[in-house]
Chains A and B, each alone.
Chain A
């Protein structure tokens, strides 16, 4: 990323940090600052709206169920590309925000090799080298980035399909659906991991904080890093805003 892009992201972080705040209680760690949370939920809301309105058109099985949510078939069709555009814009800023911590490392490749052990809960804690994001989270991030590009290109073609070449529309239609299915698979896992599969995770996106135990269990390397220079528990922990 170029430095100007980094500056936009940093300035946004600072601005949001001034306006919002994150209260970190004793025994907790700051995980996601205000800006990250706002971005995450902007992406999430626009994604769910795109998903529901898209699925209404995707299959005859769902058409009669989902189109009433958006005011009928024609309105669903009208709104869907705008939801998609909102998603693309929101995700673009989230991409800038998370580009650096999502960088793939050799530790992530090692993590992927023990995916089976992770899924079957054979290990109660993550390997010591797991940092701020684990490889699964990174994979999801990059899959979304890839799908978002496919969505954008094919979505624009389908949006203006009355002036686009016939075969191009026919191909875009399949690619758009494929991108949706890839993203949906990740989305199901993402929601599960963020709630029921790892208790204590969801609050990191609402309050912005996690417990020390949670951090040590799921992201030991990140925990080691922040625990070194975090305020001592016996000191006065003033609410921090980042």
Chain B
């Protein structure tokens, strides 16, 4: 499952050549499973993320909740969203660990114009390669989860890597290792979906959460981070998780169809004017018509310039 072989590159942003090593090995898809219903909001995952990725502790912001800051930042990739919710007259916490969802069809990668700035491994991890990033920020608008964040100092974009450096060495992501309640799991997509489904039926039959379900949105081909929610019909409740996340059509239709078409048209345009010159020829300045007394010459002149 989580061994170096799964780190074969599967997709490269804005890449015109073949993808190296694609399809040479059968690679298992990895997945992080987050059981929102057993999260206690301890923030151990937040700290583990900051520690492993060697981020400095940054300023927090207080807005009358337990949430560390308003949203993830370029150097704060893992954030538990705290939502105070009322259900059947009773108060309840909705605590969702927010980070990159590692979409099967990543909007950031679709939007990226820089060759090799975003890659997707065969195991499903979507990773940014900052040395190739040009800082245009298109990935920010391509992401349906508002995850990539711009660092104005380096003019590069950063986000959760699903600890690709750890996964590549056969370790689980840092957040998983730190979680004390066991609400975080890591394994193959198949296994994680299985465990999540079992938890859902438990929630439905034993805990009275009839709408409990697995959040694995098919609109972007599923994600490599899945949630179990108390109420999967209202994902927006959990700090703005989109019910139907989509990549802007301009990044798929326009980029992969219309852009090559435009280039081909431009190339044909250049060829067209070249062959116009070769076939129809130039318009040369015409000499001044000669005014003459002899009708014959005037006639011939008229024939030349009808």
Contact = CB atoms under 8 A, between A and B. Distances in A.
Contact of B136 (A59, A161, A200, A216): A161
B298 interface: no
Interface in A73-89: 73-74, 76-78
B155 A124 contact: no
A121 B278 CA distance: 13
Contact of B259 (A76, A170, A177, A185): A177
B24 interface: no
Interface in A108-166: 119-121, 123-125, 158, 161-162, 164, 166
Interface size class of A (residues with CB under 8 A): 35 or more
Given A57-B134, A60-B14, A77-B134, A121 B283 contact: yes
B281 interface: yes
Interface size class of B (residues with CB under 8 A): 35 or more
A196 B142 CA distance: 44
A200 B285 CA distance: 8
B270 interface: yes
Contacts, number: 142
A184 to B, nearest CB: 6
A107 interface: no
A41 interface: no
A74 B280 contact: no
Given A59-B259, A188-B273, A162 B137 contact: yes
Given A64-B115, A78-B155, A218 B283 contact: yes
A177 B277 contact: no
Interface in B126-152: 132-138, 140-142, 146, 150
The interface residues of chain A, by DSSP majority, are classed as: helix
Interface centre among A62, A63, A125 (most CB of B within 10 A): A63
A173 B254 contact: yes
A197 B273 contact: yes
A74 B286 contact: no
A74 B248 contact: no
A197 B134 contact: no
A189 B268 CA distance: 12
Contacts of B155: 74, 78
A8 interface: no
A169 B250 CA distance: 10
Given A63-B113, A77-B135, A188-B273, A217 B285 contact: yes
Nearest to B142: A170
Contacts of A5: none
A177 B262 contact: yes
Contacts of B283: 121, 124, 197-198, 217-218
Contacts of A64: 16, 115
Contacts of A199: 282, 284-285
B134 A170 contact: no
Given A57-B113, A174-B254, A169 B273 contact: no
B114 A188 contact: no
Given A57-B134, A77-B136, A63 B16 contact: yes
A196 B277 contact: yes
Contacts of A171: 250
Interface in B264-292: 265-266, 269-270, 273, 276-277, 280-288
Q: Which 7 interchain pairs have the tightest Cβ spacing?
A: A170-B248, A169-B141, A213-B285, A73-B134, A192-B273, A77-B134, A214-B285
Interface of B: 14-16, 113-115, 117, 132-138, 140-142, 146, 150, 155, 248-251, 254, 258-260, 262-263, 265-266, 269-270, 273, 276-277, 280-288, 305-306
14 contacts: A60-B15, A60-B113, A73-B132, A74-B135, A77-B135, A124-B286, A161-B138, A162-B140, A162-B150, A177-B258, A181-B266, A192-B273, A198-B283, A218-B283
